[in-house]
Amino acid sequence: MAELSGSLAFLSAILSILLAPLYYLCKPVKSRGLPLPPGPRPDFIIGNARHLAAKSPWLQYTAWKEKYGNIMHLEALGTHVIVLNSYKAMHDLLNSKPIYADRHTSMMADTLMGWGRFTTAAHYGETWKKHRKMMRPAFHKDAILAHSATLEKIARACLLELLHSPGGLREHLRYTGRPIVMFTYGLKVDGPKDPLIAVPEKAFATVIKVAMPGKVPLAEYLPFLRHIPSWFPGAGFKGNAKIWRKELDDMVEVPFSHVKANMATGVAIPSFTSKCLEESMHDGNDIMWNTGTMYMAGADTTHAILTSFILAMVLHPDVQKKAQAEIDGVIAAKGKGLPNFEDRGNLPYIECLLKDLQRWLPVLPLSVPRRLTEDDCYGGYFLPAGSIIFSNHWALSRDEAHYKDPERFWPERFENPETAELDPYKYAFGWGRRACAGMNFADAMLYLAVVSILAMFDISKPLDEHGNETEPEVVLGTGIVSAGLTYGIPGRTEGFKCTIRPRSDDAAKLIGAASEKMSW
Ligand code: HEM
């Protein structure tokens, strides 16, 4: 951050002299007789760049809501940013208006490093439409449930790993990558070092590091800088981007080619990729980047929410006991075994727990930024074309108009249908035509992981050297995936500590037996 602030201050001084006249000539203050929405006072020339580059900006935007309201404006070097802080504003603007369905392009991540080829970053146009069309049948609720046996197998394998090495909890929770790889490519993953997991993890870690506030090159804000040659002092980012782009190409090409080779020899396990290839109406490049999107969009998000789940159980033993009692009741009625998808309808408290998980620590606190393609007016304000739109899900999750005692993890808030609070599934996965394509898949994986872990394990606070429980130290992530407990994000490498033990000897035996029966 200091690094960025220093560069911005220097830049501000230079640009103040060079660009001030141009700035004042071009700055749109209002249009159609309407003002821009209110927002924090901009610095001279660099505008709100400092605010936009801050760590965990959603916390600041949420705090500013009181002062500036449900729709806020920031501006940096000609780029307008609109922050939506209320359910109504998000619903009104993002749910149905196509002019809000485009994505913002990050110069570093999307253009130079090549992340713009994923569905998540695609502009609202033909390529994006083709991608979503390919996904629709595969990610339908029923289509996901057709994979329940595979999802259950992988969940059992995760339980066995937890039993054998509970200290590796965070690694085991990375299990969320395995069902995605199996579903997408029909390929089996051999542990966390398997290149199918390790390669995308590395690509991820890189983009998070270079796209993190404080790390983005100044060329992100000053497009003309991207044309300087890579040997020029300070242009090292260009050379690095080339290397990282190649890593990304490998990440999507290697598994894709693997599926094609398996299909050619008749050994391919049916998958999203094999199905798209069989349909033969899609372009190979579209299939490759569309299927390549799945791990990228799904692994970190589901891992983050599973991590929040463990944290919620550590901090709220009462919720854990109540959820376990509900699962025990369902298992007792069945006679034996582990909970599965068929039990879901009989687990209403688990359903509430899943809802409060989506709300408590929003996985994507500012969602995935959109881009407004035409001028618009809303709530008495002018919203200029080209604005980056953030939907501040963090502010929504803390909105006392919707949630009583919002900081508290409290599934009961959804228990009574008459008084239930705003359902977070209405926003946590986004809005309208750009809403999360993998929602049903994520929900199924999360449900299964939660009920399987709760049925078999007790999760509690970490123990000190005398075996006494201690309070876990919890620091939230600062990356775009809020609970970013995974990657080498500065200051975030440790996550939090906890204790996880099988609930009984019988539970330990059952895990062993179930996993053996269901092994690959
Ligand atoms: C808890 C887990 C997850 C959460 C909270 C989540 C949330 C989101 C959100 C907020 C967006 C942006 C929506 C918008 O712009 O309105 C998004 C986009 C997307 N998500 Fe997810 N997601 C999760 C898991 C997954 C999984 C498992 C997959 C696939 C396997 C996936 C695939 C996608 C794709 C492809 C998009 C881009 C949609 C587009 O731009 O058209 N997500 N997700």
Q: What is the CATH number of the domain that holds 43?
A: 1.10.630.10
Report the alpha-carbon distance of residue 305 to residue 391 in Å, rounded.
19
| Ligand 1 atom at minimum distance from 304 CA | 1
Q: What is the pLDDT of residue 478?
A: 61
Residue showing tokens 């200091």: 2
Q: How far is CA 66 from CA 54, 87, 400, in A?
A: 19, 15, 12
| Residue 5, in any domain of the structure | no
Q: What residue owns the CA closest to ligand 1's atom 1?
A: 302
Residue 391 near residue 84 (C-beta atoms within 8 A): yes
Going by C-alpha positions, the residue among 397, 448, 400 that lies closest to residue 426 is: 397
Contacts of 148 (CB under 8 A, 6+ apart): 340, 341, 444
In whole angstroms, give the CA distance from residue 321 to residue 48: 47
**Candidate from 118, 294, 429, 446 with most ligand 1 atoms within 8 A of CB, to mutate:** 429
Residue whose CA lies nearest to ligand 1 atom number 35 = 437
Count up the domains in the chain and report the number: 1
pLDDT number for residue 213: 55
472 touches 497 (CB < 8 A): yes
- The residues, any chain, with a CB within 8 Å of residue 168's CB and separated by 6 or more, are 161
Residue 140 is assigned to a structural domain of this protein? yes
Would you state the structure tokens that stand for residue 123, as one six-digit string? 């502009």
Work out whether strand 376-378 and strand 381-383 pair parallel, antiparallel, or are unpaired.
antiparallel
Cα gap 61→428, rounded to integer Å: 18
The conformational region for residue 191 under phi > 0 = left, psi -120 to 50 = alpha, else beta, is left
Helix (H) or strand (E) holding 15: helix 2-26
ipTM associated with this complex: 0.99
**Residue 10: what pLDDT?**
46
Binding-site entries: 436
Residue (of 321, 314, 357, 318) closest to 471 by Cα position: 314
18 located within any domain: no
Rounded Cα distance, 18 and 26, in Å: 14
In a domain, 19, yes or no: no
Strand pairing of 79-84 and 71-76?
A: antiparallel
Rg, the chain, Cα only:
24
- Residue 26 forms part of a structural domain: no
CA distance 143 to 135: 11
- The dihedrals phi and psi of 261, each to the nearest 5 degrees, come to -65, -45
- Exposed/middle/buried for 19, CB within 10 Å: 0-12, 13-18, 19+? middle
Neighbours of 43 (CB within 10 A): 15
- The confidence score (pLDDT) of residue 323 equals 98
Cα 204 to ligand 1 centre (Å):
16
Q: Please tell me the distance between residue 297's alpha carbon and the centre of ligand 1 in angstroms.
A: 6
Q: Residue of the nearest CA to atom 17 in ligand 1?
A: 436
pTM of the model: 0.89
- 393 Cα–ligand 1 center, Å: 14
Q: Are strands 388-391 and 79-84 parallel, antiparallel or unpaired?
A: parallel
Q: What is the pLDDT of residue 488?
A: 30
Pocket of ligand 1 (CB under 6 A): 119-120, 132, 180, 293-294, 297-298, 301-302, 305, 363-364, 367-368, 370, 428-431, 434-438, 441-442
In terms of residue numbers, what domain contains 307?
38-515
How would you class 205 by CB atoms within 10 Å of its CB: exposed for 0-12, middle for 13-18, buried for 19 or more? middle
Cα angle: 394, vertex 80, 489; to 5 degrees: 45
Residue 115 lies in a domain: yes
Please indicate, yes or no, if residue 15 is contained in any of the structural domains.
no
Q: Which residues pair with 103 in a beta bridge?
A: 370
Q: Which ligand 1 atom is the nearest neighbour of the CA of 305?
A: 1
Neighbours of 432 (CB within 10 A): 16
**Residue 453 located in a structural domain:** yes
Residues that constitute the known binding site for heme: 436
CA nearest neighbour of 50 among 11, 17, 18:
11
What pLDDT score was predicted for residue 16?
45
Q: What is the dihedral of CA 307, 310, 312, 317, to 10 degrees?
A: 180
pLDDT in tens for each of the 520 residues of the chain?
A: 334 444 444 444 444 444 444 444 445 555 778 999 999 998 887 888 888 777 778 889 999 999 999 999 999 878 899 999 999 999 999 998 999 999 988 888 888 889 999 999 999 999 999 999 999 999 999 999 999 998 998 888 889 888 888 877 777 777 778 899 999 999 988 876 788 888 888 887 787 777 665 566 667 766 677 777 877 777 777 788 888 899 899 999 999 999 999 999 999 999 999 999 998 788 899 999 999 999 889 988 888 888 889 989 999 999 999 999 999 999 999 988 899 999 999 999 999 999 999 999 898 889 999 999 999 999 999 999 999 999 999 999 999 999 999 999 999 999 999 999 999 999 999 999 999 999 999 999 999 999 999 999 999 988 888 888 888 777 666 655 544 333 333 333 346 778 899 999 999 998 888 766 544 4
Ligand 1 center from residue 435 Cα (angstroms) = 7
Angle between helices 195-211 and 236-264 (to 10 degrees): 160
C-beta neighbour count of 79 within 10 angstroms = 18
Distances (CA, A) of 384 to 28, 81, 99, 391: 8, 9, 11, 16
